[in-house]
Amino acid sequence: MRPENADQTFTLRISVRTLEQAPIAELESPRGFDVLGVPFDLEQRDSRLILSARGFASPEMARTFAARLKAGLWNVSLEHGIAFSPEFEERQVHKPADPESAGRNLSASFGLPNLGPVHGLTEEGGTTIFPSGDRVRFLSGEGSGPFVPVPFDQVTRTLSLAIKNSRAGEATKDERLATAFDLFIGHLYETTIRAQFLTLMMVLEVLAPVTKGHHLVQKLISKWHEEIMLMRSQTTESDSDARDALDALKYEIHYRKETSKRRRVRQLILDEAPLDWADKESLAKKVVEAYDLRGVLVHNGWLVGRGQARRSTYYCPESCKADFACSTPFELT
């Protein structure tokens, strides 16, 4: 057993699988940078992008800070189009009773170099928290693909911006924002412009604020709901088609109490975009035009020209960035 150290610090490590191999230029070996006084290391290995932060006084502090690393990685995807699988689940580190023997056995079993004692073993992907002095081995194996690498300095600027300013820790937005980024990252894997476009429109729908419609509209819809329920109670169980039609209508009008998705998407830009009012309105107009194309494509199955959809894919990442900006920095105390 290793002696307890009162000065022990902990490392936070997140490893994600990228669509392309080595997407960041000038990162042939791990490189460090500092944000908020916290030392970071960025590494790419095969199809893995690994971001680590060191110096946490406890695992709990490291766990709290993990949202900042996620924000940084999301921002890299937004700014530089680097697609990755969002593997953020915390992994358990299995600690062997005899680190020396574990190192030798691991080397013999997997053909890995024997680097000495192994204090922990876990899978490669996801979030890992462990004592900074421990040697932890991560097991994985993935493929590769062509990509124009992004310069290291650009990536660290992007990581730093989001780590400092993200609001990924806001409980009211975490799930919606995580869903939106799952979809955004998914669009980077799509191989057709139509699939990319429709996936990006789903991102806007997830991010758009849910607001109630005018009180007169809500009153009218409530009346319709009562009439539908009365009519349904008067239908027999054998008339399943009528019941299904009434259930579908009830479900549809339930969401009519809310402002239309089109207006909600517009409001998203007006509320969140860090622009002056004229530029906000200009961006909102373009985003709504793009959203209207989504309706045409879904209902007709085609657009007159792919160029419309291609141009529209620009505005969704800008909308994500608008919702992503924040004001409250994280303090390491």
User: Coil, strand or helix: which one is 46?
Assistant: coil
250 closest CA partner among 230, 270, 279: 230
pLDDT per position as a tens digit, 26-82:
999 999 999 999 999 999 988 899 999 999 999 999 999 999 999 999 999 989 989
pLDDT per position as a tens digit, 154-206:
999 999 988 887 765 554 456 888 888 889 888 888 867 788 888 988 988 88
Q: Using CA atoms, how far apart are residues 51 and 30, in angstroms rounded to an integer? A: 10
250 closest CA partner among 220, 211, 224: 224
Work out the number of other CB atoms within 10 angstroms of the CB of residue 241.
9
Question: Is 331's pLDDT higher than 50?
Answer: no
pTM check: above 0.85: no
Burial class (CB in 10 A: 0-12, 13-18, 19+), 107: middle
Q: Using CA atoms, how far apart are residues 234 and 231, in angstroms rounded to an integer? A: 5
Q: Using CA atoms, how far apart are residues 253 and 234, in angstroms rounded to an integer? A: 20
Residue 58: its pLDDT value, please? 96
Question: Is 309's pLDDT higher than 90?
Answer: no
Residue 80: its pLDDT value, please? 93
Cβ atoms of residues 107 and 134 within 8 Å: no
Q: Which amino acid is at 178?
A: A
Residue 321: its pLDDT value, please? 59
pLDDT per position as a tens digit, 234-293:
888 888 888 888 888 887 777 666 577 888 888 888 887 778 899 889 888 888 888 888
